[in-house]
Chain A
Amino acid sequence: MIELIHISKSFGQHQVLHEVTFTFEDGKVYGIVGENGAGKTTLFRCMAGLETASGRISANLQPLKNYLGYLTSDPYFLSKMTGEEYIYLLTDARRKSIKNLNEKNIFELPLKEYASSYSTGMKKKLALTATLLQDNSFYILDEPFNGIDLQSSIILTEIILRLKAKGKTILISSHIFSTLKDTCDEILVLEEGRISKTVKKEQFGDFEEEMKDKILKKDIDKLWL
Chain B
Amino acid sequence: MINNYLKLQYKLLARQFKATGLPLAVAPFLLLIASYLAYYLLLQYPVFGSYAILLGNFQLLFLLAEKNRNDFLKNTFSKKDFYNIRLLENGIMTLPSITILLSQSLWRYAVVLVLLALLFAFLTFKAFGKSIPTPFAKKPFEFTIGFRRSYLLILLLYLLAAIGFYVTNPNLVLFCVSGIALTCTLYYQLPEPVFYLWNSRETPAGFLLRKFRRGLLQCLLFVLPLLLTYAFIFSSEWFNALIVLGGILFLLPFAITLKYVAYPREINFPEVSVLILCFSFYPLIVALLPFYYVKALKNLKNYL
B129 touches A93 (CB 8 A): no
On whether the beta carbons of A78 and B190 are closer than 8 Å, the reply is: yes
By a CB distance below 8 angstroms, the chain A residues around B145 are: 78-81
Query: What separation, in Å, do the CA atoms of A76 and B264 have in the docked complex?
Result: 15
Instruction: State the B residues within 8 Å of A (CB).
Output: 127, 129-131, 137-141, 144-145, 148-149, 190, 192-196, 198-202
Residues of B within 8 A of A85 (CB): 137-138, 140-141, 144
- In this complex, the interface size class of chain A, counting residues with CB under 8 Å from chain B, is 20 to 34
With contacts A72-B195, A89-B199, A90-B196 known, what are 17 further pairs, Cβ within 8 A? Answer: A49-B198, A78-B145, A78-B190, A80-B131, A80-B145, A81-B140, A82-B131, A82-B144, A85-B144, A88-B137, A88-B138, A92-B138, A92-B140, A93-B196, A112-B130, A112-B131, A113-B131
Given A78-B192, A93-B200 in contact, is the A113-B140 Cβ separation under 8 Å? no
6 A-B pairs with CB atoms under 8 Å apart are: A78-B141, A81-B140, A90-B199, A113-B129, A113-B131, A114-B131
CB 8 Å contact bits of A199-211 with B (1 = contact, 0 = none): 0000000000000
| Contact in complex: B141, A76 (CB < 8 Å) | no
Known interface pairs A50-B195, A89-B196, A113-B130; A66-B201 also in contact (CB < 8 Å)? yes
| A48 close to B (CB within 8 Å) | yes
Helix, strand, loop or mixed for chain A's interface?
Answer: mixed
Among B140, B192, B199, B202, the one with the most A-chain Cβ atoms within 10 Å of its Cβ is B199
B199 lies within 8 A of A94 (CB): yes
Residue of B nearest to A90 (CB): B199
Residues of A within 8 A of B193 (CB): 76, 78
Contacts of B201 in A (CB 8 A): 66, 93-95
Q: Kindly state the separation between the CA atoms of A82 and B193 in the bound complex, as whole angstroms.
A: 16
Indicate the member of A48, A70, A80, A89 with the most B CB atoms within 10 Å.
A80
CA distance A89 to B130 in the complex (A): 19
Q: Is the CB of A89 within 8 A of B140?
A: yes
Point out the residues of chain B lying under 8 angstroms from A134, CB to CB: 199
Give min CB distance, B101 to chain A, whole Å: 32
Taking a contact as CB atoms closer than 8 A, the residue among B127, B137, B190, B198 that contacts A82 in the complex is: B137
Chain A contacts with B in 36-75, Cβ cutoff 8 A: 48-50, 65-66, 70, 72
